Amino acid sequence: MNFTSPGNKTMSGPLFVEEGTPEARGSDRYLLAGVFMLMMFGILAVYSSIAYFAEAHSTTANKLVIGHIVKLVIAFVVMIIFSKLNYWHLKRFSRVAVILSWVFLIIVALYGNEVFGARRYLNVAGFSFQPSSFASVALLIHLVVMLTEKKEYIKDFKKSFVPIMIWISITCLLIGIEDFSSAALLMAICFLIMFIGRVSVLQLGAVALVGLLGAAFLLSQSLERQSRISNYFEQVIHIKSDEFALAAGYQAQQAHIAIAKGGFFGVGVGKSTQRDFLPAPYNDFIFAIIAEEYGLIGAGFILLIFVLILIRGVVFIARNARDEAGAMLAVACTLTLVLYGFVNAAVACGLFPVTGLPMPFVSYGGTSMLFSGVMVGILLNISKYRRDEKLA
C-alpha cells in the first residue's frame, strides 16, 4: 500500500522516494504569536511565584528564572527545528520512539527520583528528565501512523483495533503507574483521535468501559490519589457551607484564596501573598498566582490564548492539512497543548481534582516545555504544507 506525503513522497515500506517538492508556505503566525505570549506570561508568573521555593533550596529567584528562560529558549529552538522538518518523516521513527519511551518509563518506575510521593523524573548528567512527556508525543505520532496505514480496514477488530490498543494500553499503563492524570488525559486524547480516524464507536465504547475499571484499580492502589478524589467531592458538596474550609484539600483551598484575592484587576505584579502558602505555585498552581496578581482580566487573557491555539490548530491547520495524517496529527498536538492548559486552570479553580499537570509554556519545568515545543513545531510545519486555499 502506498501513501503520499505532504512532500509528494511515496512511501513503500520504510523509505520515502522523492517525486518532487511542493511549495512550502509560511507557518501560522497566529499560533506562533500565541505561544510567544504564553512564554512571556510564564516568565513573569514564574518570577513572582518561585521566591519561596528558591529560599528553601538555598538559591535565588533570579537564578531560577534565568534557568527557566534558558529552558524556554531551548524549547523555542526545538520548535523551530521541528517546524523545518517535514512532519511525514516522523513516521519513520515513531515505532522506535514509543518502544524507547517504554524503556525510560520502566527505568523511572524502578530508579526515578521520588517527588511528592511519585517517581516521575530521571536524573541524566545532572539534568532532570520526565519520560512521560516523551512517551505521550511518541504515542500520538505513532497512533496517527497506524490509523493512516490501516485506514482501508480500520473497522476490523483483529487487524486494526487490537494492534492499536496494544500500543496505547502499554504506554498509558506505564505512565499511569506513577502519573495517573497524564495517563488518563493521554488515553482520552487517543480515543478522540481514533474517533476522528473512523475507528468503530462500539469498539471504543467497550474499551472505554474497561478503561474506567482500570482507572478505578489504579486509584485503589494509591492513598494519595484517593485523598485527592475524596477532597474534591467534599469540596463540591460543601462549597457553599462553612465546612468548606475543613473539607477541602489544603492545595485547593489556598488556590481559591489566591483567586479570590485577585478580584477583577489583581493585586499587582509581584505582589502575590499566596505563593508562600501554595505547594508548587510555580508549576501546578501557577494559574492561581496569575489570577491573584493579574485578576480576572489576566487569567481570562491566558485562557483566550489557549482558545486561539485551539482555533488555529483545529479550524485552520488541521482542516487545511494536505492529508489525513497531517490533519489528525494537528488535532492531536493541539488537543494535548490546550487540554493541559485548561486542566491546569480548572484544578486551580476547583473544577477538577488536583492533578499535577503543568500549563504549557507557562509553568516552570523542562521536559514538558521541551516536548510542548516539539508539538508546536509539528503544528507549524503542517501549516506550511496546507492545501490550496481556494480548494480549502
Q: Which amino acid is at 283?
A: N
What is the tens place of the pLDDT at every residue in 303-318?
A: 999 999 999 999 999 9
| Average pLDDT of span 116-144 | 80
Sign of CA dihedral 325, 329, 331, 332: positive
pLDDT one-digit tens code per residue, 198-209: 888 888 888 888
Q: Return the C-alpha cell found at 76.
A: 523555542
pLDDT: which is higher, 49 or 189: 189
Three-class SS of residue 93?
A: coil
What pTM was computed for the model? 0.82
Q: Any idea how long the chain is?
A: 392
16 pLDDT band, cuts 50/70/90, is very low
Most confident of 81-90, 109-118, 252-261: 81-90
Split at pLDDT 50, 70, 90, the class of 17 is very low
Take residue 166 and report the three cell numbers written for it.
Answer: 496494544
Does residue 279 register a pLDDT over 60? yes
**Number of Cβ within a 10 Å radius of residue 232:** 19
pLDDT at position 235 is 54
Instruction: Please report which residue ranges of 238-323 form alpha helices under DSSP H.
Output: 244-247, 250-262, 286-310
Answer yes or no: are the C-beta atoms of 238 and 248 closer than 8 Å: yes
Residue 22 pLDDT grade (very low, low, confident, very high; cuts 50, 70, 90): very low
- pLDDT given for residue 221 in this prediction: 62
H helix and E strand count, the chain: 14, 6
- pLDDT tens, 56-82? 667 777 888 888 899 999 999 999 999
Residue 346 or residue 244, greater confidence: 346
For the segment 282-291, what is each residue's pLDDT rounded down to a tens digit?
888 899 999 9
3-class DSSP state of 283: coil
Band of pLDDT at residue 229, cut at 50, 70 and 90: low
| 201 contacts 186 by C-beta, under 8 angstroms | no
Q: What is the mean pLDDT of residues 44-64?
A: 78
Rounded (10°) CA dihedral 52, 55, 57, 60: 100
> Shortest CA distance to 356 belongs to which of 280, 302, 303?
280
pLDDT attached to residue 180: 82
* Cα–Cα dist 386/388, whole Å: 7
Q: How far apart are CA 152 and CA 102, in angstroms?
A: 29
Q: 101, exposed or middle or buried, with CB in 10 Å at 0-12, 13-18, 19+?
A: buried
Whose grid coordinates read 523524573? 121
Alpha carbons 171 and 186: distance in angstroms, whole number: 9
C-alpha cell at 384: 506550511
Q: Return the pLDDT at 259.
A: 87
Contacts of residue 361, defined as CB under 8 A and 6 or more positions apart, other chains included, come to: 35, 38, 39, 42, 72, 75, 369, 372
129: left (phi over 0), alpha (psi -120 to 50) or beta: beta
End-to-end CA distance of the chain: 26
Report the pLDDT averaged over residues 372-377.
95
Q: How far apart are CA 148 and CA 155, in angstroms?
A: 13
Burial 169-183 (b: 16+ CB within 10 A, else e): bbbbebbbbbbbbbb
pLDDT tens, residue by residue, 352-372:
877 778 899 999 877 889 999
| % of the chain with per-residue pLDDT over 70 | 78
Average pLDDT, the chain: 80
Residue 129, H or E segment:
strand 127-129
More confident call, 56 vs 27: 27
**200 C-beta neighbours (distance < 10 Å), count:** 16
Predicted confidence at residue 226, as pLDDT, reads 58
State how far the Cα of 61 lies from the Cα of 310, in Å rounded to an integer: 33
Q: How many CB atoms lie within 10 A of CB 94?
A: 20
The mean per-residue pLDDT over the stretch 203-216 comes to: 78
